[in-house]
Structure 1
């Protein structure tokens, strides 16, 4: 097994706790850059010839059927607080039939005693569940073996490889060697026993990047565009010096808006499942993403705040999102997800 050597300070565990607290307690949204979804609207159908109770919001992804195209996006793990959050998120996902991603599992891979903070099958045996490893770690000792351990750790249905170049670059302890990753990503796609998803973390993928990832064997793209949580803002708040804070602050509005990132991914990889995330805040946002070509919408920040409260708060949020989404389908005349994907949007001038 390759030796895993990156043990930067502060510890992964303390950094994870910092990230949770900053996201809960500080304003870490993009100051000016938006998702771009506000530029689009549906043509209202006053006579949709549909019954709301018969709207079919189900979608199948990686062999599992979701009640609605909602993904609780990857957030956390590796601490006791993260364990509580993940349990609540998973309980709600199980109760409502939506998908869930875990936060980066590096802490659990390197410290097996922390694996329990990611494990949720005890409360969510049936959900579509995604494991998660940072792609940059392939240049710091990781490979297919560590990825398979992350998958097995949580009995995952798919593996997310997250690409967070800007976050690592503005993080004082960041891992910043992103050279030569594509061949290593390809090796992982061939070696692991589940589909592999490429996910950005809030700055989006370009069309060129998506093409490269498809050539590597990636099975789906989570665009994670700009307009929601800005991780450069998060790193600004945890910067140890004024120098680091100013460097991070300069990138507060960097990135590809989510609406653009969806269209780049669809153009680069027709037919490949695209998960839209990055600043989605209600069911109408999710519906717009489906109409732009995505198969599902992922949300993180609002779910983190709900999970900090209770499982019931997470369930309530999922039910609200689902109700909003289904009404958007009704009022745009789309009885199914397939119909919604073909529903034209009006772009504002």
Structure 2
């Protein structure tokens, strides 16, 4: 099966099927409400900077698609909306464009539609290892990227019959690309990044980690649906066995931030409140993909509306936590309960430290 056809399958399944995990780790988190915020909502500054550019609030549309002619319109609608609202945007894996030059425009159209915002390219660690560090410059030039995400999707590859599971040498490939003209962002795709791996990535020269944690779209689940459709029951069973495998997003945010990374929180970020919770845990910003896919099939205005709902909820959460700017929100108390707390404490973190107003020193 071609890479392009696989991308179409992924989009169709995400639009038609239930692809999220059975547990929402963000529901274990509660920001502490302030009945006397002491500030006016109209005076709150939600803005931040990312990759040297200003954003209206700390958010990005995570990489979704590209690489097939039918995906161009989706990417353009996402880019137009990101430009209008003032958020960053990532593209899906550019592997297909390396294989077939004629689909490059499904990616390059993003920069044409959004000339002012941060755009993040995308390639798999396996493809980086095979193509060498020079492939990063080619991908960046293709979309005038501000950074390139190197995705680590070995869970998904493990349950694909056509999956590529050659992980040896991945960190060396990332290290070889980390001093190029564009920053490298290490990105998981639904299974999260542990503190151990965060430290290895930092040692390899990576500064930004997009955790892509457990709690949102399960790509193991997506592959289970694909396997069922082609009658591959063994692969379908494997995909379902690993449906909820990984490090929960909030746990991954804490572990990676504690290790010293600049963290993008993604994986189950389903509202502006989840964005605010992510910042309070130590992330610099948050991202999501699935909530914007269906709107992007309709038009850019639908994506704009979805983004504005996120931003309004984010601003309201800031107001109700007495946070006049994003820096204040990083110190806002957040209570961590349930399974998320249990995992954090088993991993050596005290959940109590997040429940009181504190200066973030991680």
TM value normalised by structure 1: 0.94
Distance, in Å, in 1 between the alignment partners of 2:27 and 2:223 is 27
Distance, in Å, in 1 between the alignment partners of 2:291 and 2:84 is 18
Deviation at 1:317, TM superposition (A): 0.6
How many residues align? The count is 334
2:182 counterpart of 1:194: yes
Q: Which residue, 91, 96, 120 being the options, matches 1:130?
A: 120
SS of the residue corresponding to residue 114 of structure 2 reads coil
Deviation at 1:29, TM superposition (A): 0.9
2:292 counterpart of 1:303: yes
SS of the residue corresponding to residue 232 of structure 1 reads helix
Deviation at 1:215, TM superposition (A): 0.5
Distance, in Å, in 2 between the alignment partners of 1:224 and 1:99 is 16
SS of the residue corresponding to residue 45 of structure 1 reads coil
Partner of residue 222, structure 2: 234
SS of the residue corresponding to residue 139 of structure 2 reads helix
Asked if structure 2 preserves the Cα contact closer than 8 Å seen for 1:33 and 1:257, the reply is no
Q: Which residue, 76, 79, 88 being the options, matches 2:65?
A: 76
Asked if structure 2 preserves the Cα contact closer than 8 Å seen for 1:85 and 1:307, the reply is yes
Distance, in Å, in 2 between the alignment partners of 1:296 and 1:327 is 16
TM value normalised by structure 2: 0.91
Distance, in Å, in 2 between the alignment partners of 1:169 and 1:208 is 21
Partner of residue 17, structure 2: 26
Q: Which residue, 205, 220, 243 being the options, matches 2:193?
A: 205
Partner of residue 7, structure 1: none
Asked if structure 1 preserves the Cα contact closer than 8 Å seen for 2:128 and 2:135, the reply is no
Deviation at 1:68, TM superposition (A): 0.5
Distance, in Å, in 2 between the alignment partners of 1:128 and 1:86 is 14
Unaligned runs of 5+ in 2: 339-362
SS of the residue corresponding to residue 121 of structure 2 reads strand
Give CA deviations for 1:221-272 in whole Å, capped at 9, x if unaligned: 0001001100010000111311111111110111111110100101111xx3
Asked if structure 2 preserves the Cα contact closer than 8 Å seen for 1:23 and 1:301, the reply is yes
1:1-349 superposed matches below 5 A: 10-30=1-21, 32-34=22-24, 36-119=25-108, 120-139=110-129, 141-190=130-179, 192-239=180-227, 240=230, 241-269=232-260, 272-348=261-337
SS of the residue corresponding to residue 196 of structure 2 reads helix
Distance, in Å, in 1 between the alignment partners of 2:290 and 2:104 is 23
Partner of residue 4, structure 1: none
Distance, in Å, in 1 between the alignment partners of 2:177 and 2:237 is 36
Give CA deviations for 1:277-308 in whole Å, capped at 9, x if unaligned: 00111000100000000011101100111101
Unaligned runs of 5+ in 1: 1-9
Give CA deviations for 1:130-166 in whole Å, capped at 9, x if unaligned: 0101012234x21112121111000000110000001
